[in-house]
């Protein structure tokens, strides 16, 4: 029988400090996430300097907790997979420096994982996985891109946002409506009580290929609020959400049809949005395309997805050196 491989994953790319232990790239035995929402909510967005200081405080306890929960001793870890970008540079630095130190002290191989590749690998941690090639919509607070996934490690970016990410638009509109942070879940919940057809917010870039643009939509909400200050928040939230989701769904389906892909995977924080999940399933079904949804804890940032992608690099002996440095900008395309 083949020996099991335990990968320790670490992600500190944004405002979540996370560590996980995953067996053979598919089974999670520990996935610890310490989020900083309570700290950043008073600013209505992430303050990078505060985020990196908090990572520094939390990285040891979080890694320790993941190892204890997994019941695996550090000496049994086959490799340490760390996210080295894209993300906030000060945040990434904490995870990368910590992973390098741990790898050096315990003489464990190091693996460098792109955060976006990690989001796609979240799909391999669920019991049923999509057939290749599939289309992945990675939609979060920092990213909005459509990929054709040919096989693990082989990606083609088909479209991306030219300005704000969809999650960023949710967070900014929630701030305008004084709903709370992060805004996505608040808008999702409030929209259920509103009329999505009441305000005809623009569907930006709808007929312009597979790229997205969301910053104008946020401005449209602001202008509407100035003009109609007494309008119901529920209707604004529902109408805004419907505009964002319309564009995301339409373009993802177009991409799947163009690439003759039979499956769509939704990944990233916004992939837990109720309307996105329902509409993607409904429209994809009409085109005989299967939609793969992740459990909410695998949509948002987590280190299990980094460990899962890391296992793929481990199998290919694609190890990182101890002079690994993080990078804030790191597009995902081509063969890894």
Interacting residues with Zn ion (CB under 5 A):
140, 301
Structure tokens at 331: 């597009």
Q: At what angle do helices 183-191 and 233-258 cross, to 10 degrees?
A: 100
**Distance of closest approach, residue 141 Cβ to Zn ion, in angstroms:** 7
**Residue (40 or 100) nearer to ligand KG4, CB:** 40
Q: List the beta bridge partners of residue 290.
A: 263
The one of Zn ion, ligand KG4, none whose footprint includes residue 183, by CB under 5 to 8 A per kind, is ligand KG4
Binding letters toward ligand KG4, positions 258-297, x by CB under 6 A: ----------xxx-xx------------------------
Other residues' Cβ atoms within 10 Å of the Cβ of residue 33: 18
Confirm or reject binding of residue 164 to ligand KG4 (CB under 6 A).
Answer: no
Binding letters toward ligand KG4, positions 8-27, x by CB under 6 A: ------x-------------
Confirm or reject binding of residue 85 to ligand KG4 (CB under 6 A).
Answer: no
- Cis bond upstream, residue 182 (ω within 30): yes
Confirm or reject binding of residue 123 to ligand KG4 (CB under 6 A).
Answer: no
Q: List the beta bridge partners of residue 35.
A: 16
Asked if 125 and 298 touch (Cβ cutoff 8 Å), the reply is: yes
Q: Helix, strand, coil % (nearest 5) of the chain?
A: 45, 20, 35
**Phi and psi of 110, rounded to 5°?**
-110, 140
Structure tokens at 213: 């643009």
Confirm or reject binding of residue 170 to ligand KG4 (CB under 6 A).
Answer: yes
| Residue of the chain from 9, 86, 159, 182 that contacts ligand KG4 (CB under 6 A) | 182
Cα angle for residues 157, 162, 166 (degrees, 5° grid): 85
Q: How far is CA 27 from CA 69, 120, 122, 170, 294, in A?
A: 14, 16, 11, 32, 14
**Distance of closest approach, residue 175 Cβ to ligand KG4, in angstroms:** 11
Confirm or reject binding of residue 188 to ligand KG4 (CB under 6 A).
Answer: yes
**Residue (277 or 336) nearer to ligand KG4, CB:** 277
**Distance of closest approach, residue 182 Cβ to ligand KG4, in angstroms:** 4
Asked if 233 and 190 touch (Cβ cutoff 8 Å), the reply is: yes
Confirm or reject binding of residue 252 to ligand KG4 (CB under 6 A).
Answer: no
Structure tokens at 96: 């990368």
Helix or strand or coil: residue 204?
coil
**Distance of closest approach, residue 140 Cβ to Zn ion, in angstroms:** 4
**Residue (123 or 142) nearer to ligand KG4, CB:** 142
**Residue (245 or 303) nearer to Zn ion, CB:** 303
**Phi and psi of 78, rounded to 5°?**
-75, -35
**Phi and psi of 131, rounded to 5°?**
-80, 150
d(CA 201, CA 217): 7
The piece of 140-148, 222-230, 250-258, 324-332 that touches ligand KG4 (CB under 6 A) is: 140-148
The piece of 36-44, 93-101, 154-162, 163-171 that touches ligand KG4 (CB under 6 A) is: 163-171
Confirm or reject binding of residue 184 to ligand KG4 (CB under 6 A).
Answer: yes
The one of ligand KG4, Zn ion, none whose footprint includes residue 25, by CB under 5 to 8 A per kind, is none
Confirm or reject binding of residue 91 to ligand KG4 (CB under 6 A).
Answer: no
Give residues in contact with ligand KG4 (CB under 6 A): 14, 140-142, 167, 170-171, 182-185, 188, 268-270, 272-273, 300-301
């Amino acid at each position: 029988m083949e020996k099991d491989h335990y990968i320790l994953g670490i992600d500190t790319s944004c405002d979540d400090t996370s560590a996980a232990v995953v067996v053979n790239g598919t089974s999670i035995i520990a996935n610890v996430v310490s989020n900083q929402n309570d700290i950043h909510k008073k600013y209505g967005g992430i303050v990078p300097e505060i985020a990196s200081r908090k990572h520094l405080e939390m990285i040891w306890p979080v890694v320790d907790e993941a190892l204890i929960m997994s019941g695996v001793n550090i000496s049994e870890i086959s490799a340490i997979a760390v996210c080295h970008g894209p993300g906030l540079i000060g945040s990434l630095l904490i995870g990368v420096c910590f992973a390098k130190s741990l790898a050096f002290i315990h003489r464990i191989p190091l693996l460098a994982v792109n955060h976006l590749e990690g989001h796609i690998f979240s799909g391999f941690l669920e019991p049923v996985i999509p057939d290749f090639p599939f289309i992945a919509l990675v939609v979060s607070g920092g990213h909005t891109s459509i990929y054709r996934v040919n096989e693990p490690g082989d990606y083609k970016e088909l479209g991306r946002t030219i300005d704000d990410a969809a999650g960023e638009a949710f967070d900014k509109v929630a701030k305008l409506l004084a709903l709370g942070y992060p805004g996505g879940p608040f808008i999702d919940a409030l929209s259920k009580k509103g009329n999505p057809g009441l305000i005809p917010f623009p569907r930006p870039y709808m007929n312009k290929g597979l790229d997205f643009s969301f910053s104008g939509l946020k401005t449209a909400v602001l202008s509407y609020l100035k003009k109609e200050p007494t309008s119901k928040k529920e209707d604004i939230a529902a109408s805004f959400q419907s505009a964002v989701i319309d564009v995301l769904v339409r373009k993802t389906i177009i991409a799947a049809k163009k690439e003759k892909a039979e499956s769509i995977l939704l990944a990233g924080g916004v992939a837990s949005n109720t309307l996105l999940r329902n509409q993607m399933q409904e429209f994809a079904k009409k085109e005989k395309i299967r939609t793969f949804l992740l459990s909410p804890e695998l949509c948002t940032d987590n280190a299990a997805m980094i460990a899962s992608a890391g296992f793929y690099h481990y199998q290919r002996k694609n190890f990182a050196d101890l002079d690994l440095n993080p990078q804030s900008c790191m597009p995902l395309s081509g063969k890894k």
